[in-house]
Amino acid sequence: MIERRDVAKCIILSLVTCGIYGIFWFIKMTDDSNQVGTTQTASGGMAFLFTLITCGIYGWYWAYKLGQKIDEAKGTDGNSGILYVILNICGLGIVTYALAQSELNNFAQ
């Protein structure tokens, strides 16, 4: 079951905890996206580990796949994956998190 998260609260907690809550948010968002999408990628913990090992490069792939899974779950042929990658490359990963969480909240009960 996907948990609805308040985007503003998640952003504030990520800033106040110097990114520690952002790691938790990343892991939970990855697990939630695996539940809504039909294609499965790495679990949240593994995705975080891969991002650390590759010095952030896997994070770009993760952002692209996250956008694809959300578009697939919505039943649209959108370009969210490309938008998320561009945001991550520009250093706006928190915006990617906020947009993705907003979309995932639509699937929460």
pTM: predicted TM-score of the whole model, two decimal places? 0.92
Give the Cβ contact number of residue 8 at 10 Å. 9
Name the stretches of the chain with pLDDT < 70: none
- pLDDT value, residue 44: 96
What does the block give as tokens for 91? 């250093």
Contact 70, 104 (CB under 8 A): yes
Which pLDDT belongs to residue 40?
87
Distance CA 68, CA 63 (A): 9
